[in-house]
Amino acid sequence: MKYRETVRSGGALLWFFQRVTGIYLAVVLFLHVIILHVALKEELSFAAIAERVATPLWKTIDISFLLVALFHGLFGTWIVLDDYIHKGWARILLFGLISIVALISVTLGILTLIPFTPGG
Amino acid sequence: MRVIKHYRIHLGTLAWIMHRLSGLGLIFYLILHIWVIHHLIKGEKSFDEIMEFLSTPLFKFLEIGLIGVIFYHLYNGLRVTLIDMGVLVERQKLLFAIAVVVWLITWFAVAAVMVSRFGGLSLS
């Protein structure tokens, strides 16, 4: 098994970005869990979610949460695969697959969050 | 087999393996989560149907497990970030012990709240 020694420009920057996004997620994900799963007075309903997501602050938080979580998670997946997959074609295939999953997930998430407006 | 017998898993290695496995689990869950929540687009009826489907004891049980995976990745991630920044590098075993204690306490606290709701919350 040969180990590919590649110089990836921007690798250190991406590694640093993984830490920065991680800190952001630690804060927002913790709040997400507490607000939506612990400090609940009633069962989550469509109406309650629609009202929350319609506010500009929550919409901003939720959209940034979506983008940051997907980046952190999918880039993290790539970091793991990068360690074990050494064949060129397999790397391209998996990277392409991750990119497609990223594109679909971002689109689906954004389409879900955008339509909610105050009073609507 | 002899190689495996002599391979000693250090605490840091265990934390690292668990970080990778929990991370892979979480991205898999996140994609499912986005798919579930996208039912909001299809309107109230569609969303309520999928939420009803996910309110069975099996999913409530899985949700408690999910909280444990999230909290492990969260606290160990903060620990790794601190070490990367050069903070408490010599005390990384202590740092891991703190992360594990905080992990278990917060997980059980959230799990206790979730279990207490198994009968269902008031639907007002």
Interface test with A, best of B27, B103, B106, B123 (most A CBs within 10 A): B27
Where do the domains of chain B lie?
2-116
Nearest to A49 by CA among B38, B119, B64: B38
- CATH class in words for A11-113: mainly alpha
pLDDT at res. A14: 83
- In degrees, to the nearest 5, what angle opens at C-alpha A98 toward C-alphas A21 and B54? 80
CB pairs under 8 A between A and B: 83
B2-116: CATH topology: 3 helical TM bundles of succinate and fumarate reductases (1.20.1300)
List of residues 6+ apart from B120 with CB closer than 8 A = A43
Write the residue in A19, A77, A112 that is nearest to B41 by C-beta.
A112
State ipTM: 0.87
Query: pLDDT tens digits for A16-26?
Result: 899 999 999 99
Are A22 and B77 an interchain contact pair (Cβ–Cβ within 8 Å)? Answer: yes
Give the phi and the psi of residue B118 in degrees, each rounded to 5. Answer: -60, -30
Where do the domains of chain A lie?
11-113
User: Model-level pTM?
Assistant: 0.87
Are B48 and A26 an interchain contact pair (Cβ–Cβ within 8 Å)? Answer: no
pLDDT at res. B7: 60
More confident call, B122 vs A35: A35
Q: Which residues of A touch B63 (CB under 8 A)?
A: 37
List of residues 6+ apart from B114 with CB closer than 8 A = A37, A38, B60, B63, B64, B67
Q: What is the mean pLDDT of each run of 10 residues along chain B (124 residues)?
A: 62 91 98 95 90 89 96 96 87 89 96 84 51
Q: Which residues of B touch A26 (CB under 8 A)?
A: 74, 77-78
Query: pLDDT tens digits for A100-120?
Result: 999 999 999 999 999 888 765
What ranges in B2-122 are assigned the alpha helix state H?
2-6, 11-37, 44-53, 57-84, 92-116
